Amino acid sequence: MTKKSDDVFCESWLQARQSFVSRIQKLGGTYESIGISSKGPDQGELSIGIGTISLGPHGLTTSGNLLLHISGVHGVEGFAGSAAQLQILDELLKQKNDGLFSDLPARTIVFVHTVNAFGMSWLRRNNSNNVDLNRNAIMPGHGMPSSRAYAEIHGILMDRTFTRITWLLRLLRLLLKRGKNYVMQGLSGGQYESPDGFFLWR
Ligand SMILES: [Zn+2]
């Protein structure tokens, strides 16, 4: 099956980035990237891309409102997020080609393309330090949230000596003892203590 060149769903991080940059350029926007130290599976360079475009008659300096649109905080989910950004850019391109661009109210839109480029290129949610960037918001003065429930689950999840049936039985026992909400919260709420565990915060 051949792939249409205007398809917003891309097959790799690089293809998604190239599609993003070319649309930003066609819209007359500015593009810059922030390189990250980790490499992709093919040892290629990775970066966070920032595309800025201005709508309305006056350009960047007088734009009254700013919209920030980000994709790929959860790495692999960047395939969907990038597609959303490419689709929005395609709609704006259509408006521009129809001569409607300068009629739009003054707006600046900053698209951040693939916040976690490493996760997207390696098809995983976390970054190269196993940090889940979407579980990483500590409010000033609040300290680190407790992850007691996770600690209890970690021993079960990460024990590779278990057979699948032992693993399921242990998990089932925990579910019966603590309840579904406790286990779900422990699993998905994030944690600070186990670098090799799930949903690590830093
Ligand atoms: Zn997510």
The 10s digit of each residue's pLDDT in 92-102 is 999 888 888 77
**124 and 155, same domain (yes or no):** no
**94 and 154, same domain (yes or no):** no
Question: What value does the mean pLDDT take over residues 183-194?
Answer: 82
Q: What's the chain's average pLDDT?
A: 87
Model confidence over 27-71: pLDDT tens digits? 999 999 999 999 999 999 999 999 999 887 665 555 568 899 999
List the CATH number of the domain containing 89: 3.40.630.10
CA of residue 100 to ligand 1 center, whole Å: 34
CA-closest candidate to residue 71, choices 88, 55, 96, 95: 88
The answer to whether residue 6 sits within a structural domain is no
> Would you state the pLDDT for residue 162?
74
- State the Cα angle at 76 between 73 and 79, rounded to 5°: 95
CA of residue 125 to ligand 1 center, whole Å: 8
How many domains does one find in the chain?
2
CA of residue 30 to ligand 1 center, whole Å: 27
